[in-house]
Amino acid sequence: MDKKYGLGEFAKSLGCRAVYDEPMKCHTSFKTGGGADVFITADSAANLS
């Protein structure tokens, strides 16, 4: 398994969301940035600790 998919699956097992090859321009105020191999977000504050 590729490292990025392994990381994404691990994040999902912790209750987070993982998106592969996500353009960072969707998440910055200046709409710049390349693609992230894995973009992980927490669905709740509890998932941050």
Q: What is the pLDDT of residues 18-42, one digit of tens each?
A: 999 999 999 999 999 999 999 999 9
Burial class (CB in 10 A: 0-12, 13-18, 19+), 8: buried
> Is residue 10 over pLDDT 90?
yes
What 3-state class would DSSP assign to 36? strand
> Is residue 47 over pLDDT 90?
no
pTM over 0.75? The answer is yes
Confidence of residue 1 (pLDDT cuts 50, 70, 90): low
